[in-house]
């Protein structure tokens, strides 16, 4: 996991840390309102923060949209329509958007570690091997032990990636970037291309571009095409040296 991906992953863990902190404090103070009320509290706080980030990134989003419109008015190297993308998807193997076994482990393993740690600490306290372990302390220790496992498994499964992957129904390749459709809007993935992965069995090429100023704009796209080798050769011209 690169430094950027690690930073993004840590930021994603902040709501969980807040949630666990409030729960353990509520248990310590025997305050059921704080224990169970922390769930909507953290959710509302996260939504407010995301709304704030969206407002701050609006200028970057508008600039990206305008640049995409300008590029589409110029000469394009390749234009792939919705019909062509649909045919490529139909003739290729599914990319598997469901939950893989590795992804499932990122949810199951930390949960098992959490339950097992809490049980072991409670047992040790009852046996007076480690006396005076409070319930809130066992919850906090158990949660902290899940973090390394969650980080490692997220790295292996790719969930620690800094950017989501878009699968546009229409896209255009130009000399300056790839214009792609996302939820009715056209954005541009700027060159140089950082990484390029060909999946022949699925008739697609996964492309990672330069990071964007707005996290809402994907810098990874999955481009479907019936001739992925040709598309690969074309995009290879714009790879990062």
Higher pLDDT, 171 or 217: 171
| Confidence (pLDDT) at 100 | 46
Distance CA(170)–CA(155), nearest Å, equals: 30
| Mean pLDDT of the region 63-79 | 89
Structural element, H or E, at residue 76? none
Whole-structure pTM value = 0.59
Higher pLDDT, 6 or 110: 110
| Mean pLDDT of the region 204-229 | 84
Token pair of 59 as six digits: 């200028």
- How do 204-208 and 220-224 pair as beta strands? antiparallel
Closest CA to 238 of 157, 152, 178: 178
Distance CA(225)–CA(85), nearest Å, equals: 6
Site of tokens 């589409």: 72
pLDDT tens per residue, range 149-183: 666 666 555 554 445 678 899 999 998 899 998 88
Higher pLDDT, 139 or 228: 228
Least confident stretch, 53-57, 116-120, 132-136: 132-136
Taking a C-beta distance cutoff of 8 angstroms, is the pair 37, 17 a contact? Answer: no
Share of the chain above pLDDT 90, in %: 14
pLDDT at 140 over 70: no
Higher pLDDT, 74 or 110: 74
Higher pLDDT, 56 or 78: 78
* Domain segments of the chain as ranges: 58-95+163-236
| Confidence (pLDDT) at 31 | 76
Least confident stretch, 128-137, 172-181, 186-195, 220-229: 128-137
């Amino acid at each position: 996991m690169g430094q950027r991906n690690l930073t993004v992953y840590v930021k994603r863990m902040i709501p969980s840390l807040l949630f666990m902190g409030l729960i353990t404090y509520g248990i310590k103070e025997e305050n059921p309102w704080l224990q169970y009320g922390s769930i909507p509290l953290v959710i509302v706080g996260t939504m407010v923060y995301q709304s704030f980030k969206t407002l701050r990134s609006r200028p970057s989003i508008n600039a990206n949209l305008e640049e995409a419109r300008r590029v589409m008015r110029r000469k394009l190297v390749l234009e792939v329509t919705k019909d062509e993308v649909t045919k490529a998807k139909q003739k290729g193997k599914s990319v598997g958007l469901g939950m893989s076994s590795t992804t499932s482990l990122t949810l199951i393993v930390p949960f098992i570690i959490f339950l097992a740690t809490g049980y072991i600490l409670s047992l040790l306290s009852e046996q007076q091997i480690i006396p005076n372990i409070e319930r809130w302390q066992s919850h906090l220790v158990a949660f902290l032990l899940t973090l390394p496992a969650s980080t490692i498994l997220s790295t292996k499964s790719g969930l620690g990636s800094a950017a989501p992957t878009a699968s546009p129904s229409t896209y255009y390749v130009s000399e300056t970037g790839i214009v792609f459709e996302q939820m009715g809007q056209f954005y541009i993935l700027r060159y140089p291309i950082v990484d390029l992965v060909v999946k022949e069995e699925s008739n697609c090429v996964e492309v990672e571009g330069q990071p964007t100023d707005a996290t809402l704009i994907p810098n990874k796209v999955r481009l479907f095409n019936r001739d992925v080798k040709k598309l690969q050769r074309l995009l290879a011209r714009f790879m990062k040296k």
